[in-house]
Structure 1
Amino acid sequence: MNLFKAAFSISALTMLSRITGLLRDQVGAALFGASAMMDAFWIAFRIPNLLRRLFAEGAFSQAFVPLLAATRARHGDDVTHALVDAVATVMLWTMVAVCTLGIVSAPVLVWLLASGFDAPTTEATVRMTRWMFPYIGCMSLVALSSAVLNTWRRFAIPAFTPVLLNVSTVAAAWLLTPIFRRHGIEPVFSMAVGVMLGGVLQLGIQVPALLRIVALPRIGLTWSRLRAAWAHPGVGEILAKMGPAVIGVSVAQLSLMINSQIASHLGAGAVSTLQYADRLMELPIAMLGVALGMVLTPQLSAAQAREDWERYSGLLDWGLRMVLLLGLPCAAGLLTFALPIVATLFHRGAFTAHAAQLAAAATMGYGAGLIGLVGVKVVAPGYYAKQDMKTPMYVGIGVMLLTQALNLVLVPWLGVSALTLSLSLAAIVNAGWLLWGLKRLEHWRPAPGWPLLMVRALLACAVMGAGLAWAASGFDWLALGAHEARRAGLLALVITAAVLVYFGTLALSGMNLRQAFRRQV
């Protein structure tokens, strides 16, 4: 398997999901702007999303994927299927309990994330939280299905799945908003309906893909089957690994919760501003970090199971080179070209010029540490593949404390943009700390050529960044809102030119681009 081709295919599908995600946020910005009710939706959506990242795609995936890959490598498909059946049974019943508890305790959860909201905004947030909480149940089962498909090297469906959430949310917003207005229902609730519909669709699309590889889980619906599933040794092993993993992931999510809490006290629209910046930050993270992590984790786990440490180190080294070559120019773009991107994507309808400037400043905060945010997605699997959950946990705790220390210093000075800057700077420390640990253990041995690679990448980024900075200041991107097509065309032209300049500079510096991206396993 060509790892770059696999990662590229995932990245392309992930790009599609992020483009539809941008469309979702554009629709929300145009219909509701950076308003109190939009803040309510994002907090309500963030609650099940936090739990999804904490348990489904976070601690569970970190514990389950390496075990799944190692079980298949050592014992074959039959034993692996039995493990999947047991885990799916336990997960289904656990999610039923969690969703019930979440719906009941919605007021407490909203207070924990946004105690600064006024009474009407809080009430709307609680209602939408209850509408959307079952989404976490759907996404937990989607995470299990994605782990199975990725282990079988079926990467397309897991990468495509988020598109369904975005499409359903956009459709619901456009179709239901006027209906809700006519019937006296808060219009932003239409997006909550779209989220739940998207969760069901994302789960449904997994079934045919699992059937094709004969890996559809057989979920036990009786008490005896549930007890048998709990008794499976793999379930106990996953739960034991999830303990440290939950703590490790939760410290990152706790930082996001604290940021939401701080933002809720910075005035109406602050939470929405963070969301729009998050959307732009997640584009490169998903296209690079998530895609590389999805490809590398099963391969690293299989290499660890066979104790092939040379291959293990080679996989990590290749992933880190991709982070440098592809993540660094994205960071330069967010730092130098944030306002034109934000203005073109969101500045219309209820989304004002002032909101665009705030969102651009927050986006630049993410650009300052984007290389760390992407790098963590590649470095952390180096630990999870060895089923070492404790080291990322300890590092995560230290990074969380650093993030909040930076917030204490920067928020009074920079406002909302300080929240993104603190997270991104701490992410650099996170990635560097984890990478140093892998090198110290000699599980990552840098291949020759790193100093020259860094010089070439920095030179290409400097040339590209200078051009982007000139383009950002050379046009009034907010005033160009009167000519939407012209502004969009100009943005596409500048970004295309920037890509050509970056890779052209790399080629002129003597780099063989085809050889640099190639990795066979």
Structure 2
Amino acid sequence: MSRMLRASAIMAAGTMVSRLTGFVRTAVLASAIGVAALGDAYNIAYTIPFILFDLLIGGMLSSVVVPMIVKAQKQDADGGRAYEQRLMTVATLALLAIAVVGVLCAPLLIQLLTTDLTPRATEVATTLARYILPQIAFFGIGAIAGAILNTRDRFAAPMWAPVLNNVIVIAVGLTYHFISRTGGDVKAATSSDLALLGLGTTAGIVVQSIVLIIAVHRVGFRFVPRFDLRNARLGEMGRAGVWTLAFVVFNQIGFIVTTNLATGATGKAIEQKLGHVAGIASYSYAFQLFQLPYGIIAVSVITAMLPRMSRYVHDGDLGAIREEFASGVRLVAAVIVPAGLLLMVLGPAVTVLIFAHGSTSVTDALNMGNVLQVFGLALVPFSIYQLLLRVFYSFGDTRTPALIVAGNVVVNSGLSFVLYLTLPPHLIVMGLAMAFTASYVVGGVAAWTLASKKVGGGLGGRIVASGLSRMYVAAIPAAVIALIALWATQELAGVTPLSSAIMLVAGGGLGVVGYLVISQRMRIAEISSIIGLVAGRVGR
């Protein structure tokens, strides 16, 4: 536990700064371009490189590439250096080709991801996509460099590099805000406006990748292009990657369904002359906020956990895998449980404070906050689900996660379609968040059952359930405190960015303090460990 906690703390610090600057970035962009048609067009274009990266390489990183690098480090006479160079060579060539093809196919990609966009919004989204798509090459190369760093237990650079990316895009958003008169009006957006937004976004990823390349160079990796690809184990990677590709394809099918239904909600609102309702931009921004606690603690634990579990599998130590997983779940839940409850209460206060400026109105921000409240329900099942998948990946098993995610997508997409057809336009995106939550509850149950069989002795379900129950007992009073502060502030001051700040300071602050005090009284070990680590570092 202590070793995982120390490694996770290093990553959590970088991730926290990255996520916080990411929120500033998102708030600046939302203020500059809004969450209506221009905001939707930008968010659609921005997601395309990530979709392509996940489809072709990203999904391979955690499930195939990291375990194979660890295997090469253990088995190859040179400690896996030649294998890493071959891997970087293949990735660089493939990503450059993908970037070129993506730019050429941008109109088709926009059509695939959207429903009922206006012709002008479609044109803007396509132009932005062409500016943003080249970043896939730099993003992918940086991700491979990050994987190499992770296998050497160097976690700081991959967690801190995105901060520079965020700073650059913040500067781009501020520049747009001050020099452009377009605001969020998609019809008035000029070619120079779109070039600033698109190329500025790509510049952030370029700088992030350069930082990671420098970091991997400092730990001794020297990139020498190697074209002796017969020794690159591409066949082995391909066999393992077939199911990984299926996993990513299923996930992206689910995402495509979500983006189409979210843009369809906006189209319905326009047809019914209801004004702007939550669309894909609101869904995307709420999802980013939802991922803050997950990104700070769960991603940090997952990143530290996977290389160690891969080594335990190689050594045949199943008991160590069970212990590592159970410790990881309890450590993650200690933060995720109260965070989920507080998001359910304070979601609108968070979004009004961050987004209700410039081209984004208070009403738009409240719509986004309602979506965030629903996402709060998903935080615990989503995080545990992600931890469970790493159990399979440590065994080199990519087939089981692919089958699990297929069921997950069926539940998510099926329920999303039902809610899209039955809910009024202003509730559709909230319904999509609810479908997301339900799918991860179902998927988590299936993944737990199968992972328990995989490790041959269960995953300590009773111990984990007992720990979660105690954490909820400690966290519910915190949520009640936050709810009282929310109600009192709304009664006295209404809903404004200033009153929302008061709600968060009073409700969130008192709630967190209450949770810490109660958990200490209940002797929840994970909270005590986190407090001890933070106190020790502050005291240095």
Range of TM-score over shorter length: over 0.9
Q: 2:319 aligns with which of 310, 313, 332?
A: 310
The residue number in structure 2 matching 1:190 is 196
Q: CA deviation at 1:13?
A: 0.8
Between the aligned partners of 2:45 and 2:17, the Cα distance in structure 1 is 25
The residue number in structure 1 matching 2:472 is 458
Between the aligned partners of 1:490 and 1:472, the Cα distance in structure 2 is 5
Q: Does residue 106 of structure 2 align to residue 97 of structure 1?
A: no
Q: CA deviation at 1:180?
A: 5.4
Q: 1:291 aligns with which of 281, 300, 303?
A: 300
Deviates most, 275-284 or 55-64: 55-64
Which SS does the other structure have where 1:101 is aligned?
A: helix
Between the aligned partners of 1:89 and 1:83, the Cα distance in structure 2 is 10
Q: Does residue 336 of structure 2 align to residue 337 of structure 1?
A: no
The residue number in structure 2 matching 1:417 is 430
Between the aligned partners of 1:385 and 1:490, the Cα distance in structure 2 is 43
Q: Counterparts of 1:254-403 in structure 2 under 5 Å?
A: 254-267=253-266, 270-403=279-412
Q: Deviations over 1:256-300 (max 9, x none)?
A: 121111111111661111122112111022112211111111011
Q: Counterparts of 1:98-247 in structure 2 under 5 Å?
A: 98-179=98-179, 184-185=190-191, 187=193, 189-220=195-226, 225=227, 228-229=228-229, 231-247=230-246
Between the aligned partners of 1:351 and 1:55, the Cα distance in structure 2 is 35
Between the aligned partners of 1:352 and 1:514, the Cα distance in structure 2 is 38
What is the aligned residue count?
Answer: 510
Which SS does the other structure have where 1:161 is aligned?
A: helix
Q: Structure 1: which 4+ aligned runs deviate by more than 6 Å?
A: none
Between the aligned partners of 1:139 and 1:477, the Cα distance in structure 2 is 47
Between the aligned partners of 1:479 and 1:250, the Cα distance in structure 2 is 48
Q: Does residue 24 of structure 2 align to residue 23 of structure 1?
A: yes
Task: Please provide the CA RMSD for this pair.
Answer: 2.3
Between the aligned partners of 1:324 and 1:481, the Cα distance in structure 2 is 31
Q: What amino acid sits opposite 2:144 in the alignment?
A: L
Which SS does the other structure have where 1:337 is aligned?
A: helix
Between the aligned partners of 1:108 and 1:207, the Cα distance in structure 2 is 33
Between the aligned partners of 2:104 and 2:362, the Cα distance in structure 1 is 39
Between the aligned partners of 2:327 and 2:199, the Cα distance in structure 1 is 42
Task: Report if aligned partners of 2:343, 2:372 keep a CA contact under 8 Å in 1.
Answer: yes
The residue number in structure 2 matching 1:81 is 81
* Alpha carbons of structure 1 residues 94 and 395: separation in structure 2 relative to 1, 3 Å: same
* Alpha carbons of structure 1 residues 201 and 453: separation in structure 2 relative to 1, 3 Å: same
Deviates most, 333-342 or 503-512: 503-512
Q: CA deviation at 1:439?
A: 1.2
The residue number in structure 1 matching 2:519 is 506
Between the aligned partners of 1:418 and 1:478, the Cα distance in structure 2 is 31
Q: Deviations over 1:400-430 (max 9, x none)?
A: 0000121123233231111111112211222
* Alpha carbons of structure 1 residues 507 and 259: separation in structure 2 relative to 1, 3 Å: same
Q: Deviations over 1:457-501 (max 9, x none)?
A: 1211211111122222222299667674x6435523432221111
Task: Report if aligned partners of 1:83, 1:235 keep a CA contact under 8 Å in 2.
Answer: no
Q: Deviations over 1:102-142 (max 9, x none)?
A: 11111100000013211110001111111111111111111
Which SS does the other structure have where 1:116 is aligned?
A: coil
Any stretches of 5+ residues in structure 1 without a counterpart?
none
Between the aligned partners of 2:526 and 2:128, the Cα distance in structure 1 is 48
Task: Report if aligned partners of 1:18, 1:283 keep a CA contact under 8 Å in 2.
Answer: yes
Between the aligned partners of 2:146 and 2:219, the Cα distance in structure 1 is 13
Deviates most, 507-516 or 490-499: 507-516
Any stretches of 5+ residues in structure 2 without a counterpart?
183-188, 267-275, 534-540
Task: Report if aligned partners of 2:107, 2:126 keep a CA contact under 8 Å in 1.
Answer: yes
Q: Deviations over 1:120-171 (max 9, x none)?
A: 1000111111111111111111111001101111100001122122111111
Q: What amino acid sits opposite 2:301 in the alignment?
A: L
Q: Does residue 487 of structure 2 align to residue 473 of structure 1?
A: yes
Task: Report if aligned partners of 1:161, 1:202 keep a CA contact under 8 Å in 2.
Answer: yes
Q: CA deviation at 1:333?
A: 1.1
Identity in percent? 21
The residue number in structure 1 matching 2:42 is 41
Between the aligned partners of 1:260 and 1:201, the Cα distance in structure 2 is 29
Q: 1:441 aligns with which of 429, 439, 454?
A: 454
Task: Report if aligned partners of 2:146, 2:216 keep a CA contact under 8 Å in 1.
Answer: no
Q: What amino acid sits opposite 2:252 in the alignment?
A: Q
Q: What amino acid sits opposite 2:161 in the alignment?
A: T
* Alpha carbons of structure 1 residues 82 and 473: separation in structure 2 relative to 1, 3 Å: same
